[in-house]
């Protein structure tokens, strides 16, 4: 009964908010300063935040901007000085993923030097705001420091370097990390191990199991994940992950979860088979998660998405959330940044953008309301 009442309220709210949400686009283009956008932002602050709309067993997260190649010139580290950004971050989410601050390049810039400050700040902020943290990432082919990528190491040295890194970084945040993306993007689209990954290339794929074992010893409570993009539809890449997960579990390696990043483009259709993909890993007894969702679109001339594009985007966001909600142990749902102000998308995909759920001034897009109302209805 109580559930029915809640759902009823959510439905009423949906239609009212969708009407408001579309308004700034039609009335004032991007409307970063328009009156309607202001009104919408204020409405947004008064409505139930995403984290409170969500079912209790599902964490709602975002990437915390900072350190990215797309940010370093203009915005050295928005998390530290953009107060409206911090307010929304604290209000809306109960999980935080450092977008770059825990990657090797940032946290381990020299062989014998770690830089924990930016990651520490996020972990502290998260604690103060009742948020968990997703650690990202330990074994990846990208954003590694030159000393590592270009160094001349024996196999033994390289293995020792990885082990030391994992024990140091995971150990520092022991007990404070909900989930670690231990292995990130380790397969190519054809399901073969990615040879660009220095550890896999030099040490062989068995290093993946070692990374999980070391991470588990360093923080026995953290849930340890495989994480990748391009796994939203069934295919050889998903098959490769399923085979690996089965093997790791058979070998009693501490693997706890499989995650789809879900970087989506409206060019390719909404991932309507994602629930089935996640279910395959749930069936193995693993947690599943959505870790980096964003939905980019081709921007029309002038750069302002149409109302129709925004509705389509909202439907994509909802499709991904629905998939997670449909799978029993999908326990974490993270969007890769919540505002276009700091999104990585336009830098990496120059003709696309508007990929997040809020405009640059934090006013809310239809995608935000689609998430909020879908969460409320599932609660
Ligand atoms: O959002 C991140 C951006 O700031 C970095 O410049 C970029 C460098 O590769 O990485 C972005 O985050 C990636 C994430 O760590 C792993 N999955 C893909 C994400 C988007 O590229």
Q: How far away, in angstroms, is 251 Cα from ligand 1 center? A: 31
Is the CB of residue 223 below 6 angstroms from any atom belonging to ligand 1? no
- Quote the ligand 1 centre to 92 CA distance (angstroms): 22
CA distance 298 to 351: 6
Indicate which residues carry an active-site annotation. 185, 292
Nearest-atom index, ligand 1, CA of 65: 4
**Span from the CA of 99 to the centroid of ligand 1 (angstroms):** 7
Q: What is the mean pLDDT of residues 263-283?
A: 98
Does the pLDDT of residue 207 top 60, yes or no? yes
Ligand 1 neighbour 228 (Cβ under 6 A): no
- Which residue among 64, 65, 68 has the greatest number of ligand 1 atoms within 8 angstroms of its CB, and so is best to mutate? 68
Pocket test for ligand 1, best of 64, 67, 100 (most atoms within 8 A of CB): 100
CB hemisphere CA count around 1 (13 angstroms) = 0
Pocket test for ligand 1, best of 261, 336, 338 (most atoms within 8 A of CB): 336
pLDDT tens for 77-120 read: 787 889 999 999 999 999 999 999 999 999 999 999 999 999 99
Q: Ligand 1: does its nearest atom lie under 6 Å from the Cβ of 144? A: no
Within 10 A of 342 (CB to CB), how many other CB atoms are there? Answer: 23
| Ligand 1 centroid from CA 100, angstroms | 7
* Residue 193 burial (10 A CB sphere; 0-12, 13-18, 19+): middle
User: CA 200, CA 159: separation in Å to the nearest integer?
Assistant: 10
pLDDT at 45 over 50: no
pLDDT at 15: 33
> Beta strands of 123-278 (E only): which ranges?
132-139, 179-184, 223-228, 257-260, 263-265
Nearest CA to ligand 1 atom 5: 68
Structure tokens at 207: 């290093």
Quick one: pLDDT band at residue 9, thresholds 50, 70, 90?
Answer: very low
Query: Atom 21, ligand 1: which residue's CA is nearest?
Result: 344
> Is it the case that residue 6 has pLDDT exceeding 50?
no
Query: pTM (2 decimals)?
Result: 0.89
Query: Which range has the worst mean pLDDT, 87-91, 92-96, 276-280, 346-350?
Result: 346-350
Residue of 298 and 36 predicted with greater confidence: 298
**141 CB near ligand 1 (under 6 Å):** no
Three-state DSSP class for residue 49: coil
Residues 294, 349: contact at Cβ < 8 Å?
no
Tell me how far apart the alpha carbons of residues 59 and 49 are, in angstroms, rounded to a whole number: 13
Whole-number Å distance between alpha carbons of 7 and 378: 8
SS3 track for 326-372: HCCCEEEEEECCCEHHHCCHHHHCCCEECCCCECCCCCECHHHHHHH
Domains of the chain as residue ranges with CATH: 16-378 (3.20.20.80)
What pLDDT shows up at residue 70? Answer: 56
Residue 299 phi/psi, 5-degree rounding, is: -85, 130
Using a 6 Å cutoff on CB, does residue 143 contact ligand 1?
yes
Q: Is residue 19 predicted with pLDDT exceeding 50?
A: no
Phi, psi of 103 (to 5 degrees): -75, 155
């Amino acid at each position: 009964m109580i559930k029915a009442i809640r759902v009823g309220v959510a439905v009423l709210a949906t239609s009212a908010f969708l009407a408001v949400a579309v308004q700034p686009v039609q009335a004032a283009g991007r409307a970063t300063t328009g009156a309607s956008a202001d009104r919408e932002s204020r409405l947004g602050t008064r409505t139930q935040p995403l984290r409170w709309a969500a079912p209790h067993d599902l964490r709602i997260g975002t990437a915390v901007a900072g350190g990215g190649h797309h940010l370093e010139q203009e915005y050295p580290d928005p998390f530290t000085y953009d107060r409206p950004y911090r307010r929304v971050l604290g209000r809306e989410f109960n999980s935080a993923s450092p977008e770059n601050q825990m990657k090797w390049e940032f946290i381990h810039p020299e062989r014998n030097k770690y830089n924990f400050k930016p990651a520490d700040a996020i972990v502290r902020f998260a604690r103060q705001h009742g948020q968990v943290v997703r650690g990202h990432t330990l074994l990846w082919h990208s954003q590694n420091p030159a000393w590592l990528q270009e160094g001349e190491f024996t196999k033994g040295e390289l293995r020792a370097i990885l082990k030391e890194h994992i024990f140091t970084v995971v150990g520092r945040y022991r007990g404070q990390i909900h989930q670690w993306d231990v292995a990130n993007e380790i397969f190519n689209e054809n399901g073969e191990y990615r040879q660009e990954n220095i550890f896999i290339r030099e040490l062989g794929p068995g290093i993946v199991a070692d990374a999980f074992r070391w991470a588990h010893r360093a923080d026995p409570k953290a849930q340890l994940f495989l994480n990748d993009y391009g796994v939203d539809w069934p295919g050889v890449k998903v098959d490769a992950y399923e085979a690996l997960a089965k093997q790791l579990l058979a070998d009693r390696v501490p693997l706890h979860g499989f995650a789809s990043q879900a970087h989506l483009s409206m060019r390719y259709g909404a991932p309507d088979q994602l629930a089935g993909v996640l279910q395959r890993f749930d069936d193995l007894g693993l947690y599943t998660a959505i870790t980096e969702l964003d939905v980019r679109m081709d921007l029309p001339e002038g750069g302002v998405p149409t109302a129709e594009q925004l509705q389509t985007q909202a439907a994509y966001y909802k499709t991904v959330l629905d998939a997670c909600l449909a799978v029993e142990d999908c326990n974490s749902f993270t969007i890769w940044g919540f505002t276009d102000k700091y999104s990585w998308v336009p830098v990496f995909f120059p003709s696309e953008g508007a990929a997040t759920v809020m405009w640059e001034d934090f006013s809310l897009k239809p995608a935000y309301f689609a998430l909020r109302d879908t969460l409320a209805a599932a609660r």
